[in-house]
């Protein structure tokens, strides 16, 4: 995945003191994926992938990447946008 093909189109910061810091929508090429979450963890910020609730009541990721490099590009892009 080329870095320039990934961009944050919406970032909504939350100022509520919780571990959830922001929601983000990301454009990858001609597609927009909604529902990424910037979260505060033990080791700093991380990116939560969009999820949907299944019939069994559990939450499952509804988005994944095909390579670790593509996933890291996505994570870096969103976290850099959050830190601006």
The pLDDT confidence band at residue 5, using thresholds 50, 70 and 90, is confident
pLDDT of residue 40: 94
SS3 category, 43: coil
Q: What is the pTM of this model?
A: 0.84
- Over the range 22-61, which residues count as b (16 or more CB within 10 Å of their CB) and which as e? bbbbbebeeeebeebbbeeeeeeeebebbeeeeeeeeeee
| 69 vs 51: CA distance, rounded Å | 21
Does position 39 have pLDDT exceeding 80, yes or no? yes
The pLDDT confidence band at residue 19, using thresholds 50, 70 and 90, is very high
pLDDT of residue 16: 82
Would you list the domain boundaries of the chain? 3-83
Thinking of the domain 3-83, which architecture would CATH place it in? 2-Layer Sandwich (3.30)
Closest among 57, 84, 81 to 73, alpha carbons compared:
81
Contact predicate 29/53, CB 8 Å: no
């Amino acid at each position: 995945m080329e870095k320039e093909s990934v961009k944050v189109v919406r970032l909504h910061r939350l100022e509520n003191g919780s571990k959830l810091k922001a929601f983000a929508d990301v454009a990858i090429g001609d597609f927009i994926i909604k529902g990424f979450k910037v979260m505060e963890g033990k080791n700093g910020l991380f990116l939560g992938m969009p999820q949907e609730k299944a019939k069994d009541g559990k939450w499952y990721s509804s988005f994944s990447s095909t390579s670790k490099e593509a996933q890291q590009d996505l994570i870096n892009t969103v976290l850099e946008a959050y830190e601006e």
